[in-house]
Amino acid sequence: MSTMNMYDLRMISDKILVLLEDSDTEVEGIILPEDVRPLKNWGMVIDAGPDAEYLSVGDEVYVEHTEGTRFIQDDSSFVIIREERIPCKKL
């Protein structure tokens, strides 16, 4: 069984692949356990399907924590989501 590489994925339709930012592991010197860390909501677009109209690779976007399909690869968190489900991006 081979391991998956992010470069092996290509988004189709209007799907967007987002690499989520790391959440804070520490608050005021207190190290937070994994289950109480803030949710990762901001991230960078890694790939965009051919039908994506408003987002492109490199855009920084906000993703609601209940949207998309989240997964972890090599200690990084990703989400695959339809472009229309992303409410905003940083300018």
Q: Provide the CATH number for the domain around residue 78.
A: 2.30.33.40
pLDDT of 25 reads 57
Domain with 79, as residue range(s), is: 9-89
In a domain, 4, yes or no: no
Q: Can you tell me the distance from the alpha carbon of 88 to that of 71, in angstroms, rounded to the nearest whole number? A: 21
Residue ranges for the chain with pLDDT beneath 70:
1-7, 23-28, 31-39
pLDDT of residue 37: 60
pLDDT (tens digit per residue) in 52-62: 999 999 999 99
The pTM score is 0.78
pLDDT value at position 75? 81
Total domains present in the chain: 1
- CA geometry: angle at 34 spanning 86 and 1, to 5°? 75
